[in-house]
Structure 1
């Protein structure tokens, strides 16, 4: 099969998942689109040379490396946010408020901590898989997960209940 056809098939099959992961990392649709575009640029440039490398792991590594490197360059300390809707609107409004609170708390984590949490709990990777995706040791994954979850518990104690008991 032609490598260009393989690339198109891979992008069409995994593009939506890549976009969702980018959104979870950035917390912003436009920033997620920009991140995915950066990943695609790198992927297209290196696709011919990637050969027998697992494309899923390769793209994941590019995504998380670009996110962490980009955050280091930008160093946005505070992102303006809209205030959550009034909680009197019922369960839907409460759920939205919880999502906004959790999103804001995630935005206050370091890029690596966010990447570890997204890989471990959204993409459901094991510690060794997460370590391989980020190019760090499994022990670093464990410690980053522990610190990130503790920080989330401090920032959003009522909305982090879904993480409780997962990892300490």
Structure 2
């Protein structure tokens, strides 16, 4: 391996799953998410010499957000699918699937910029200043996009599927 490759392999191993989940939240498509996360890691590797001592994860988030934004700008066809990315099965699969579908549908009601701000702010726990810097926006724009998107999501909270009780989920039988 070349000098520094071990560091990158450790970084990629530690962050690839989270990058892919974030990409899925941004795209709503598991195949596009996987491709975007892999492309982001390739670009991080290409810049590894200059970013490894700074914050490579922040750089990867920026690359991922820019990749997905670039895909939205290009005309493309969408093909709806019914499968979700492979994840360890939770205790109540039906509840998890309905919540996940609700979340993706709720995120789809947002504009691409609003969705990107929401994912960076609340999934990655990035500060408003970090999001503004990563998306090359003013802090005020990030605040207003975040506020507007959260307001839209609050409206859809009433449409969230109800939680299943233990007897409905088959617990205690």
**Equivalent residues in 2 for 1:63-78 (5 A)?**
63-74=64-75
Number of equivalences: 151
**Given the two structures, how large is their TM-score scaled by the length of structure 2?**
0.73
Partner of 2:120: 119
Q: What is the match of residue 47 of structure 1?
A: 48
CA-atom RMSD in angstroms: 2.7
Cα distance in 1 between the residues matched to 2:151 and 2:79: 22
Cα pair distance change 1:155/1:81, threshold 3 Å? farther
Deviation of 1:81 after TM superposition, in Å, equals 6.1
Q: Which runs of 5+ in 1 are unaligned?
A: 83-90, 161-168
* Shift in alpha-carbon separation, 1:50–1:124, aligned structure 2, 3 A: closer
Residue 136 of structure 1 aligns to a residue in which SS?
A: coil
Cα 1:155–1:75 change in 2 (3 A) is: farther
Output the TM-score relative to the length of structure 1. Answer: 0.75
Equivalent residues of 1:102, 1:156 under 8 A apart: no
- Specify the alignment match of 1:33 in structure 2: 34
Structure richer in helix, relative to its length: 1
Instruction: Please tell me whether the aligned partners of residues 99 and 160 of structure 2 are also in contact (alpha carbons under 8 angstroms).
Output: yes
Structure 2 unaligned blocks of 5 or more: 83-91, 162-173
